[in-house]
Structure 1
Amino acid sequence: MSAVNRAAVEAVLRQYTDPYLNQDPVSAGCVRAIDVQGDKVSVQLELGYAAGLFKSGWAQMLQMAIEGLDGVSSARVDIQCVIAPHKAQAQVPG
């Protein structure tokens, strides 16, 4: 059993491409936290678009991939959708 670290978890996440961003979650800047406590891994991702129907399947797929790492007994992937408000143009009425 080998020790798991953040780099190993990021390497796994880089193998999966978000179909809406056309990038892996690490390159897209979606990773908010990776916590490794012994053989347990917790990952928090933040998507900048509405992904209500998509995020649970995506989280489960990433969780299974992380649990496939040598030395990981369990993993949890939490995905939040945070859509930042955009400033409207001054001359366009609300």
Structure 2
Amino acid sequence: MSAVNRAAVETILRQYTDPYLNQDPVTAGCVRSIDIQGAQVSVQLELGYAADLFKNGWAHVLKTAIENLDGVSSATVAISSVISAHKAQSQIPGLANVKNIVAVASG
């Protein structure tokens, strides 16, 4: 049984494409941490959009793939979403206590 390293975990993560970003989580910059303690691996991903509908399923798939690495006895994958507010145009004042505005049109 060989020791697992960060590069091996990143290689596994690169094999899976984020369904909305159309990139793997490493390339998309979603990996917040990879913690390796002996044969236990913990990965934290942070997505910039609401992912509640699929994040548990995706975390399970990634966990299983990481646990299949030689040298890994157990893995945890946590996926969180952080939606940051965008800056308004400099000449237009922002609305107080409003993070984001979504425009909807029809017709």
Normalised by the length of structure 2, the TM-score is 0.83
RMSD (CA atoms): 1.2
Q: Deviations over 1:5-50 (max 9, x none)?
A: 0000000000000010000000000000000001000000000000
Following superposition, which runs of at least 4 residues in structure 1 exceed 6 angstroms of deviation? none
> Which has more radius of gyration?
2
Q: Deviations over 1:33-80 (max 9, x none)?
A: 000001000000000000011111110010000001011010000111
Tell me the secondary structure at the aligned position of residue 43 of structure 2. strand
Which whole-Å CA distance do the structure 2 matches of 1:5 and 1:93 have between them?
46
Which whole-Å CA distance do the structure 2 matches of 1:12 and 1:46 have between them?
17
Which whole-Å CA distance do the structure 1 matches of 2:58 and 2:94 have between them?
38
Tell me the secondary structure at the aligned position of residue 16 of structure 1. coil
Partner of 1:56: 56
Which whole-Å CA distance do the structure 1 matches of 2:22 and 2:80 have between them?
18
Greater length-normalized contact order (CA 8 Å, ≥ 6 residues apart): 1
List runs of 5+ in structure 2 lacking aligned partners: 96-107
Which whole-Å CA distance do the structure 1 matches of 2:31 and 2:73 have between them?
21
Which whole-Å CA distance do the structure 2 matches of 1:66 and 1:30 have between them?
17
List runs of 5+ in structure 1 lacking aligned partners: none
Normalised by the length of structure 1, the TM-score is 0.94
Tell me the secondary structure at the aligned position of residue 43 of structure 1. strand
